[in-house]
Amino acid sequence: MNGHRMSGHNDLLVTGAAVHGGESADVLVRDGRVVAVGPDATGAATETDLERVDADGLVLLPGFVDLHTHLREPGREDAETVRSGSAAAAAGGFTAVLAMANTSPVTDTGEAAEHVLDLGVAAGLADVRPVGAVTKGLEGAELAELGMMHRSRARVRVFSDDGRCVHDARVMRRALEYVRAFDGVVSQHAQDPALAGPGACCHEGEVSGRLGLTGWPAVAESSIIARDAELALHTGSRVHIAHVSTAEGVEAVRWAKRRGARITAEVTPHHLLLTTDLLGSYDPVFKVNPPLRPQEDVDALREALVDGTIDAVATDHAPHARHDKEHAFPDAAFGMLGLETAFSVVHDVMIASGRMDWALLTERMSTAPARIAGLAEHGQHIRPGSPANLVLVDPRAEVTVDPGASLSLSRNTPFAGRTLTGRVRTTILNGRITVADGEVRP
Ligand SMILES: NC(=O)N[C@@H](CC(=O)O)C(=O)O
Ligand SMILES: [Zn+2]
Ligand SMILES: [Zn+2]
């Protein structure tokens, strides 16, 4: 809001954008809202106090919403802060991000959640919403203060022990029962720890045998999804499956939806594009949890994202300091950057290839994640009265990913040097430009 005033403009007029990928129109934004779309927009603008954004050839969409971001603050401000992560989010076209609870200290109390919320407001570059831990200290034993986190100013609705699976069925059942009262949701890192040996660090299959690494079998993912679907049916609560990575996992979600379970699922951009083939290099930049999978899984994930078995794209942006990645593959940290490249990857893999249209991309990157997280100010259809949380993208521009240009404090992108079609140009948060062409607006 301050920035809005400081910029000196009351009105923002976006001209010639293909709204929702359709007809091109002018869009007038004032006081954080869209006030006019179409021929009226120009006439309604205040000529004296107007910023124009020429959007010829660009597509205007509701801002993206990320259900799964690691911002590392508090605790690992060397890898990312709420400020740097919000800048990366804005550069990637995101207007809202859910900040995972595996910080230090863990977000497992009302105060901890409010702290993250306040850091997000102070940064002012994205709507940062804390995810609450399911269990105290992510230890999997005792429920965290779920009700207190929900009743806090942060209004936490999404809970996750991400990084660790809530493997105890009794704990998962209690958590689901608890969040039902306020329509909360548990986001599960579906991976049965009992099914992977200690030191697992890649996909279990031909690749783990060949490289001599310990792997996670697909059944570690699908068996937890099936169990949690049963618990969701039993409790009547909502469960969300984080970063689905296998064809078996997709099949379990499909089965659960058919049975009427209140289940949603997400896939990451990296699991939609990258495969185990990259592991031959033993480069830890490709080490992630869940691991990269073979092409058959990638194909199943793409299909599931189209047919709705998978509801949303979520980045699992997981920044790591250089010294945590510079190890032999088995010892390096798990995780990849994702916020700044998400749109380009999804556009390249799903739209440029003809698998998806703009309406479906909007649903998967904006509308569905906003709905799952209960964020009413995001993912709204662009029309007079809707919140001005928006993104302008250029479907024709190519991006060659340069880790050095990232606004994240970390550099661990698996897409370095890749050329992708589709680029984020301008992100608008609450009526104010946050990032234009990769530069943060002061
Ligand atoms: N995705 C990862 O490989 N790592 C995440 C944790 C997680 O999402 O499980 C992290 O916090 O670094
Ligand atoms: Zn996870
Ligand atoms: Zn994660």
The answer, yes or no, to whether any atom of ligand 1 lies below 6 A from the CB of 15, is no
Ligand 1: which of 293, 316, 320 to mutate, most ligand atoms within 8 Å of CB? 316
Q: How far is the CA of 163 from the centre of ligand 1 (A)?
A: 5
From first to last of its 442 residues, the chain has per-residue pLDDT tens of 344 444 456 899 999 999 999 999 999 999 999 999 998 898 888 877 899 999 999 999 999 999 999 999 999 999 999 999 999 999 999 999 999 999 999 999 999 999 999 999 999 999 999 999 999 999 999 999 999 999 999 999 999 999 999 999 999 999 999 999 999 999 999 999 999 878 999 999 999 999 999 999 999 999 999 999 999 999 999 999 999 999 999 999 999 999 999 999 999 999 999 999 999 999 999 999 999 999 999 999 999 999 999 999 999 999 999 999 999 999 999 999 999 999 999 999 999 999 999 999 999 999 999 999 999 999 999 999 999 999 999 999 999 999 999 999 999 999 999 999 999 999 999 999 999 999 999 8
The answer to whether the annotation marks 378 as part of a ligand binding site is no
Q: What is the pLDDT of residue 1?
A: 38
The answer, yes or no, to whether any atom of ligand 1 lies below 6 A from the CB of 76, is no
Three-state SS string across the chain, please?
Answer: CHHHHHCCCCEEEEEEEEECCCCEEEEEEECCEEEEECCHHHHHCCHHHEEEEECCCCEEEECEEEEEECCCCCCCCCCCCHHHHHHHHHHCCEEEEEECCCCCCCCCCHHHHHHHHHHHHHHCCCEEEECECCEHHHCCCCECCHHHHHHCCCCCCEECCCCCCCCCHHHHHHHHHHHHCCCCEEEECCCCHHHCCCCCCEECCHHHHHHCCCEECHHHHHHHHHHHHHHHHHHCCEEEECCCCCHHHHHHHHHHHHCCCCEEEEECHHHHHCEHHHHHHCCHHHCCCCCCECHHHHHHHHHHHHHCCCCEECCCECCCCHHHHCCCHHHCCCCECCCCCHHHHHHHHHHCCCCCCHHHHHHHHHHHHHHHHCCCCCCCCCCCCCECCEEEEEEEEEEECCHHHCCCCCCCCCCCCCEEEEEEEEEEECCEEEEECCEECC
Q: What is the pLDDT of residue 8?
A: 53
What is the pTM (predicted TM-score) of this model?
A: 0.97
Q: What is the pLDDT of residue 48?
A: 79
Q: What is the pLDDT of residue 40?
A: 84
Residues with catalytic function? 316
Q: How far is the CA of 23 from the centre of ligand 1 (A)?
A: 40
The answer, yes or no, to whether any atom of ligand 1 lies below 6 A from the CB of 321, is no
Q: How far is the CA of 318 from the centre of ligand 1 (A)?
A: 6
The answer to whether the annotation marks 243 as part of a ligand binding site is yes
The pair of structure tokens assigned to 216 is 């996670």
Instruction: State which residues have CB under 5 angstroms from ligand 2, the bound ion.
Output: 162, 189
